[in-house]
C-alpha cells in the first residue's frame, strides 16, 4: 500500500504545476519535440527541461532521442492509476454520504411532532 501511495504522490505532484498539465494536454494530441513543447512558455530551456524530467520520472511521459531531436510521448498508464484511486475515493465517499442520509432520515422519522 505504501508503494501505491508513493506512486500516487509522484503522479499528483507532477500534475500540480500548470506548465506540466499544459505539456500533458498537448501530448494528448500526439508526440512532440521538446522545442515544440517549450515554445508557448516564457522560460529558459533548462527550466523547462526540469518540468520534462519530472514528468518523465513520475511516469507521465517517455522521451526518445532521434538524432538531435528529443521527442516526448504521453504514457497512458498513470491515468489508469489515478482513475483507480479516484474510483476508490468516490465509492468511499458515496458510502459515507449514503450512511449520513440514512441517519438523517431515521432521525427525522423518530422526532416527535
Whole-number pLDDT of residue 3: 60
> Cα(first)–Cα(last) distance of the chain, in Å?
50
Name which of 71, 68, 63, 18 is nearest 41 in CA terms: 18
pLDDT over 90 percentage in the chain: 60
pLDDT tens figures, 18-73: 999 999 999 999 999 999 999 999 999 999 999 999 999 999 999 999 999 999 99
Is residue 103 scored above 60 in pLDDT? yes
Whole-number pLDDT of residue 42: 94
Model's pTM, two decimal places? 0.77
- Phi, psi at residue 108, to the nearest 5°? -65, -35
pLDDT, mean over the chain: 90
Whole-number pLDDT of residue 109: 77
Whole-number pLDDT of residue 1: 53
Amino acid at each position: 500500500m505504501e508503494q501505491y501511495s508513493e506512486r500516487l504522490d509522484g503522479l499528483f505532484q507532477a500534475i500540480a504545476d500548470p506548465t506540466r498539465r499544459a505539456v500533458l494536454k498537448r501530448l494528448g494530441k500526439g508526440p512532440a519535440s521538446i522545442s515544440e513543447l517549450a515554445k508557448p512558455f516564457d522560460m529558459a530551456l533548462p527550466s523547462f527541461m526540469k518540468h520534462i524530467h519530472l514528468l518523465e520520472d513520475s511516469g507521465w511521459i517517455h522521451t526518445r532521442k532521434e538524432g538531435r531531436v528529443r521527442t516526448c510521448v504521453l504514457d497512458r498508464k498513470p491515468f489508469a492509476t489515478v482513475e483507480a484511486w479516484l474510483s476508490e475515493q468516490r465509492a468511499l465517499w458515496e458510502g459515507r454520504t449514503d450512511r449520513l442520509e440514512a441517519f438523517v432520515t431515521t432521525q427525522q422519522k423518530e422526532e416527535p411532532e
